[in-house]
Structures are given as C-alpha cells and as structure tokens.
Amino acid sequence: MNTLNGKVALITGGASGIGRATAILFAQEGAAVAVVDINAEQGQAVVQEIESQGERAIFILCDVTRAEDCRRAVDTSLELLGRLDILFNNAGIIRRADVVELTEAEWDQVMAVNVKSVFLMSKYAVPVMIKAGGGSIINTGSGWGLKGGRNAVSYCASKGAVVNMTRAMAIDYGPQKIRVNCICPGDTDTPMLRNEANQLDQPIYQFLAEAADRPLRRYAQPVEIAQAVLYLASDASSYMTGATLVVDGGGLA
C-alpha cells in the first residue's frame, strides 16, 4: 500500500520480536528503515531480509542507555537516509522479580533500557523533526504499564513511566506537529516472552498457556503489534497524539 512512501523510520530494538516485525512491515510500506540494536548479528540479518525484498535499510549498533550512542544513531540515520520522520522507541527488557528479590543493578538496568532510552532517543530525534516540520513518535508501553503484574515490579514501573512520558511529550511537541503515542501490547510471541518462562523457572508450555488466557484465547504474533504501530506512524492516525493504544487480545478487559 506504500502508506509510508518516502518516510524514514528509526526503530530501536529492531533486531528481534516486535521491532523486527515492524521494521520489515515499514519497509514493505515504503519507508527506509534504520534498524537500531545492540545485537549486530541479528540486526544485520533484518537489514539483509529487507534488502532482499528490494527495500532500503541500514543497521546501527547502539546501546540505547548511552547518550552518545543515541545521538550517533540519529545522526547516522540523517547522514545515510536523509531525514527522520518516525521514531519507534521499542527497545525493552524484563526482569521477573518482586521488590525483595530484585537487585538494585537489575532495577537500574530495566529503567535504563525501558525508560532512559525513550528520553535519550527522543532528545536527539525531536529537534530533527521540528526542523523538518513534524513527525511521529511511538513508544512501546505494555498492558502492565496500565495495571499491575505479578513478580514484575521494575517492568511495571518502567512501562507506567513510558505511558505518562508519552502524554507529556505529546503536550510539549504538539504545536510543532510531532505526534507522540504509545502502543501497549499484551503477551506477544517474542524471545523476551519466552525468556520470562526461564526467569520464572516455569515450563514453556505452561507459561505460554497462561499467556493465552485472555478473551481471544491466544497470545499475539509480532506482526499483529506491528500493524498497530504502522497505524500510529502513518497519516491514518493524523489526529491522534498522547494516546495509548492497547493491543492485547482483550487481556485488560
């Protein structure tokens, strides 16, 4: 459909899961994509897959918790792709533990990857978008950013922060025609989801069965979340900003 024809998108956490699915979908819709991740091998593989379909993509190695890396990611996107229209702040991790079991280092790591990265990437991307006359930022929240979850205190705290950061950024930059929205997925079949079973020392079949316990009786596939991100990135959502879009198979219901 080429709904993103001529656009350039930067996607953090683009090497796997929802980020990978979104990068591929955006490219199919006409965007040039900067795949940003700390995993070079998987990130390069995503770029090669996109290029094999005749679309344009680059990989940028980046630790999203480091200001210099984030600045360089934005600068490299501009240098190699010419502009920046869409920022998908998607990088994230989870540590399954309560406040007693969670270590201080684990707390700091979750907050750095899930929250600080949104601040840093936006810090460098927003001035570029203002200069260009506007843009779209999508932040990855979670259903657990809107309600609590068992043994996931740092993740819940971080995603709650992302939801409210989204609202604050939408207020700040609406006058500059930058829309800022939040996607809140439910359980999605990604490496991160399966890693949760290991963290909880739970059989994977049991964990996935619990993840599917929602009205639609299944967990999501990454492309289903990517389709919602595409909507928020495109002009189809031109009057949406500061919004939280829940895509969770009815889990919160």
Note whether 16 and 92 are within 8 A (CB). no
Half-sphere exposure of 138 (CA within 13 A, CB side): 32
In the block, tokens 């843009």 appear at 135
83-117 core/surface letters (b: 16 or more CB in 10 A; e: else): ebbbbbbbbbbbbbbeeeebeeeebeebbbbbbbb
Note whether 95 and 109 are within 8 A (CB). yes
Three state DSSP letters for 96-113: CCCCCCCCHHHHHHHHHH
Q: Which of 124, 155, 173, 219 is catalytic?
A: 155
User: Is position 205 annotated as part of the catalytic site?
Assistant: no
DSSP string, 158-225: HHHHHHHHHHHHHHHHGGGTEEEEEEEE-SBSSHHHHHHHHHTT--HHHHHHHHT-STTSSPBPHHHH
Please state whether 93 falls in left (phi above 0), alpha (psi between -120 and 50) or beta.
Answer: beta
Note whether 102 and 95 are within 8 A (CB). yes
Active site residue ranges: 155
